[in-house]
Structure 1
Amino acid sequence: MYRGAMLAMGLCTAMPVAAETGQDDVARLTRLVEQQQAQIARLEARLAAVEGQKVAAMTAPLGQPLASEAHPAPPPQVAGQTVAPPRIPLPLGQALPSDAHPPSLDARLARIEKAQKDGVHVDWSKGTPEFTSADGRFSFRPRGRILVDLGTTMGSDVAARNITATQARSLRLGFEGSVGQHLSYLLEGDFADNDIAIKSAYLAWTTGFMGQQAEFALGNRLNDRGLDGSSGTISVPFLERNFVAQGIIPVRGFFGLGAAARIYGGRWHVGVQVSGDDINNPGTAGDGLTIAARAHWNPVKTADWLLHLGVWGFHEDLATDVTRPTRAIAVGGFYNDNLRISAGSFPNAKSGDGYGFEFGAFHKSLWAYGEYGTRTLRNVAGVSTDQAAWAVQGGWFLTGETPPYLTRGGVWSRPRVLRPFTSGGSGAVELATRYEELDYSDNPTAGRGTALTLGVNWYLNNFVRLQLNAIDWSVANPVAGVWTKDHGQTLIGRAQIAF
């Protein structure tokens, strides 16, 4: 009985202690579960971020690598067996991770996040891959174009002009890129009209100036002169730029090696350029000097309407080795060298001045504009000759696209196709017409001409275009002191890819 009483008393004493100990264990387990839940929540948030970047990569432009491609998944496992991943040699002295103690989930996620942060972004939206560093400070993109023409001329009184031929209008290859936030560069070489030449080759610095964006460039750059003249051949609505852009032009041509500065506002821009001869000019004499300027303004800019006003001018002092101060202009396409407006001869040309005006209107899918330009040439004897050109043109996108006009610089670009043919849509279809006239005939040895063009453009996507131009032309050139008039038609088709 005594022993039973002592045992009962011991049990009664231990029960409160055991109960207290059990409560402490439950509290510790609860805290541990809460900590694990918080850690799991953090890991799930990080995994969601990684998966979100993966989904973004899967919906990126065609050709951009998926996250699974940039960071391969762990190797597959065979039932009852783990396939070891291939080892990549690491720098000398760096230990390989132990297979017996794989890195924690935290470490694995940290490695994935770092790889994504340090990765290179690739964008195929322009037709070629544009590589951009993760911090956006460096970019590089190859660029180029292929323009192939097939044309036929008929109706001319001169048999040599009635020909059918093909031509590689332009085969161009180059690259562009940026270094940091301000510096960019561009270099392109071109094969055109049976000749190889360097086209764009410059460095540009973009920065703020008086509350606006400014760009300063050194090198060989397309000049700023007229709506067509300031735009690339791949962007203008017709196969070739109009007569104002082609004919009222400095001796150095569309490009000049020198310095340029442009300031861009919300609805305007002003640009000046000081340049010598074209970069391909032979070094047998000193360069000429050309000072040019252009400004444009959009007085109306709404969702449905946009107006364009522009003015430009240039002064040139010609080099002593200039023998052809004026260009013979192709009327029916560059493939037919027998059909041109004669430039005549003007010996000992010394200087020249040119200027022009632009007016354009854009309404939803419709556009129209006109240009006028004139140039005066003078020689060492004080004799001068005047040249003039004008053009009016308009177009309509049947498929609803807006005209590819850029208010930044007042130039043509390429349309943003709503339903690309290469993605199962119809592409973009544009109808266009133009009438133009060029008159060199103030010089008795030079000619004049007119052209009426009907054009159809089919944009398969943003960088592929098929074109067809039907041209009714007339020329009047002096031959042996007698004016010889001619009239005919030309039909030209072009396949263009520009990236």
Structure 2
Amino acid sequence: MKVPFASIPGLAVLGVAMLAQAQAAADTPDSLEERLRILERKLELAEEQAANNAREAPAIKINEKGVGIQSAQGDYEFKFRGLLQADGRWFIDDRAPRTHDGFLLRRVEPTFELTLGKALFFRIQPNFAPDNATVSDVYGELRLSPVFYVRAGKFKAPVVLENLQASAATVFNERGLPNELGPNRDYGVQFGGAVLSNTLSYAIGVFNGAPDGRDATQQPETDNRKEVAARLFAEPFKNSPGFFQGLGFGVGASHGEKQGSAAANAVKYRTPGQNTFFSYLTTVGYDGDETRVSPQAYYDRNGLGLLTEYIVAKQKVAVGSNHEKLDNTAWQVVGNYLLTSEDASYAGLTKPKRPITQGGAGAWELVARYGELDVDNDAFPLYADPTQSASKARTWATGVNWYPLGNLKIALTYSQTGFDGGAASGADREDEKLLFSRFQIAF
């Protein structure tokens, strides 16, 4: 029997309809329920896999404290921070030749920090400022617990309070006169930690020994002389909200034996404008022990911040058969007050409450300082030239800091330093009158 060609499409449609009817007949309620369970399980597996992937993926953090990448469990973390300080120094009514007058880059410091398995920490902080290119910090830490860590490398010795404050957090362009008598960064090993619910911190280390107010230089050691530095600092009301919560006080100290030329060790005391007002004669040498002791404190309450410290540096020096033990001292009081409701902090301000990008005026801060450095009178004239070196410096400063938005600080301050001696015929060295400006980006 022959089927007409024209009827073939009709037969195809009829076959498809018969297959669909058969499939519908096969889709019983039980089979439909089974297929639904399979689809639901596949969705659950997909969601579990997506959750696992999210937990294992590293987290990228970007905020006012820097840029970081952290592993999913938080055991490994890389952080990048940065500091730019573009300064201006303008000496007023000066007749003597000055240095560092004009615009300069005070600090250009990218900082790289790496945490490995929570217990290991590494930090490197170079400074690319043209006049002071160096590696400021480079050290590693073994952090066994908040109570105990071990640090080794190059870092700040635990003595002077303002020196231990981060460079971005200081309220003035330059640190005060006590910093001229204490050690700055040094090479060594330090143990430290915090106890009693972080209300008491301690640090003690063994170092090569840094000259007053300077970084230690990395030079081959010709003897086994080392310097021990330590600090104990208490914040007894840190965990108790109230009037005294922002109070901290303690003492830093160092002791070591030094030999060799004082001039070769760059013992020079500087003004806030970074001009030398005292230095030992080139014939002077160290003659044994040097001890520094620095009681210190700060207090922060709402917008008010206060910092005070004192330091005495006892040095044994010699010229030929003449020997002398000199006691040089320095102290300062620093105050700052935030006019725009932010809280003052030793750690500094990074974010105003009402930045200009949100229609506010930013944060405004008034700052003031007074300090003195007194050189032992027995230093003159055998160990220092009274026509070149002053026996005493007194400095006061005041100014205003503006934080228009997070991580940006614009500062304008005035500093004036007077001297006892330091000029010809027993006259006083010319006063240093200095206008500072600063444009700072820190994160």
* TM-score greater than 0.5 by the shorter chain: yes
Q: Give the structure 2 partner of residue 373 of structure 1.
A: 311
Specify which of 337, 342, 345 is matched with residue 278 of structure 2. Answer: 342
Name the CA distance, whole Å, in 1 between partners of 2:99 and 2:218.
Answer: 33
Counterparts in 2 of 1:484 and 1:326: CA distance versus 1, 3 Å: farther
Name the CA distance, whole Å, in 2 between partners of 1:123 and 1:195.
Answer: 31
Specify which of 203, 222, 238 is matched with residue 271 of structure 1. Answer: 203
Q: 1:168 and 2:105 equivalent?
A: yes
SS in 1 for 2:133: strand
Specify which of 308, 320, 326 is matched with residue 248 of structure 2. Answer: 308
Counterparts in 2 of 1:462 and 1:283: CA distance versus 1, 3 Å: farther
SS in 2 for 1:116: helix
Is the contact between residue 404 and residue 415 of structure 1 (CA under 8 Å) also seen in structure 2?
A: no
- Structure 1 residue 426: Cα displacement: 2.9
SS in 2 for 1:112: helix
Report Cα offsets for 1:139-171 as digits up to 9, x if no partner: 112233211111211133x34249841111112
Q: 1:489 and 2:427 equivalent?
A: no
Counterparts in 2 of 1:362 and 1:127: CA distance versus 1, 3 Å: closer
Is the contact between residue 351 and residue 407 of structure 2 (CA under 8 Å) also seen in structure 1?
A: no
Q: 1:458 and 2:402 equivalent?
A: yes
Name the CA distance, whole Å, in 2 between partners of 1:243 and 1:196.
Answer: 23
Name the CA distance, whole Å, in 1 between partners of 2:147 and 2:64.
Answer: 24
Letter in 2 for 1:229: N
Letter in 2 for 1:120: P
Unpaired runs of at least 5, structure 2: 1-24, 210-214
- Structure 1 residue 191: Cα displacement: 3.5
Letter in 1 for 2:254: F
Is the contact between residue 410 and residue 439 of structure 2 (CA under 8 Å) also seen in structure 1?
A: yes
Q: Give the structure 2 partner of residue 387 of structure 1.
A: 328
Is the contact between residue 170 and residue 191 of structure 1 (CA under 8 Å) also seen in structure 2?
A: yes
Q: 1:262 and 2:192 equivalent?
A: yes
Name the CA distance, whole Å, in 1 between partners of 2:141 and 2:201.
Answer: 17
SS in 2 for 1:382: strand
Q: Give the structure 2 partner of residue 180 of structure 1.
A: 117
Letter in 2 for 1:307: L
Report Cα offsets for 1:78-114 as digits up to 9, x if no partner: xxxxxxxxxxxxxxxxxxxxxxxxxx65565455334
Name the CA distance, whole Å, in 2 between partners of 1:261 and 1:300.
Answer: 24
Specify which of 235, 244, 259 is matched with residue 298 of structure 1. Answer: 235
SS in 1 for 2:422: strand
Letter in 2 for 1:399: T
Report Cα offsets for 1:109-150 as digits up to 9, x if no partner: 455334323322111114542111112111112233211111
Name the CA distance, whole Å, in 2 between partners of 1:423 and 1:319.
Answer: 59
Is the contact between residue 285 and residue 319 of structure 1 (CA under 8 Å) also seen in structure 2?
A: no
Name the CA distance, whole Å, in 2 between partners of 1:280 and 1:498.
Answer: 27
SS in 1 for 2:147: strand
Letter in 2 for 1:378: K
SS in 1 for 2:279: coil
Name the CA distance, whole Å, in 2 between partners of 1:344 and 1:155.
Answer: 28
- Structure 1 residue 320: Cα displacement: 3.3
Report Cα offsets for 1:281-300 as digits up to 9, x if no partner: 34384575211111111233
Name the CA distance, whole Å, in 2 between partners of 1:324 and 1:231.
Answer: 28
Report Cα offsets for 1:436-487 as digits up to 9, x if no partner: 1111252212422111111212223442211111112212343457343322
Unpaired runs of at least 5, structure 1: 1-21, 43-103, 406-411
Q: 1:323 and 2:323 equivalent?
A: no
Q: Give the structure 2 partner of residue 142 of structure 1.
A: 80
Q: Give the structure 2 partner of residue 72 of structure 1.
A: none
Specify which of 438, 448, 465 is matched with residue 373 of structure 2. Answer: 438
Counterparts in 2 of 1:284 and 1:297: CA distance versus 1, 3 Å: closer
Specify which of 205, 211, 214 is matched with residue 148 of structure 2. Answer: 214
Letter in 1 for 2:324: V
SS in 1 for 2:402: strand
SS in 2 for 1:401: coil
Q: CA RMSD in A?
A: 3.0
Is the contact between residue 186 and residue 216 of structure 2 (CA under 8 Å) also seen in structure 1?
A: yes
Name the CA distance, whole Å, in 2 between partners of 1:300 and 1:107.
Answer: 52
Matches within 5 A, 1:392-403: 392-403=333-344
Letter in 1 for 2:200: W
Letter in 1 for 2:58: V
Name the CA distance, whole Å, in 1 between partners of 2:64 and 2:217.
Answer: 29
Is the contact between residue 366 and residue 402 of structure 1 (CA under 8 Å) also seen in structure 2?
A: yes
Name the CA distance, whole Å, in 2 between partners of 1:477 and 1:139.
Answer: 54
Name the CA distance, whole Å, in 1 between partners of 2:323 and 2:176.
Answer: 30
- Structure 1 residue 373: Cα displacement: 0.8
Is the contact between residue 155 and residue 162 of structure 1 (CA under 8 Å) also seen in structure 2?
A: no
Q: How many residues align?
A: 394
Letter in 1 for 2:171: P
SS in 1 for 2:361: coil
- Structure 1 residue 325: Cα displacement: 4.9
Letter in 2 for 1:215: Y
Q: Report which of the two structures shows the higher radius of gyration computed on alpha carbons.
A: 1
- Structure 1 residue 200: Cα displacement: 0.8
Is the contact between residue 131 and residue 140 of structure 1 (CA under 8 Å) also seen in structure 2?
A: yes
SS in 2 for 1:115: helix
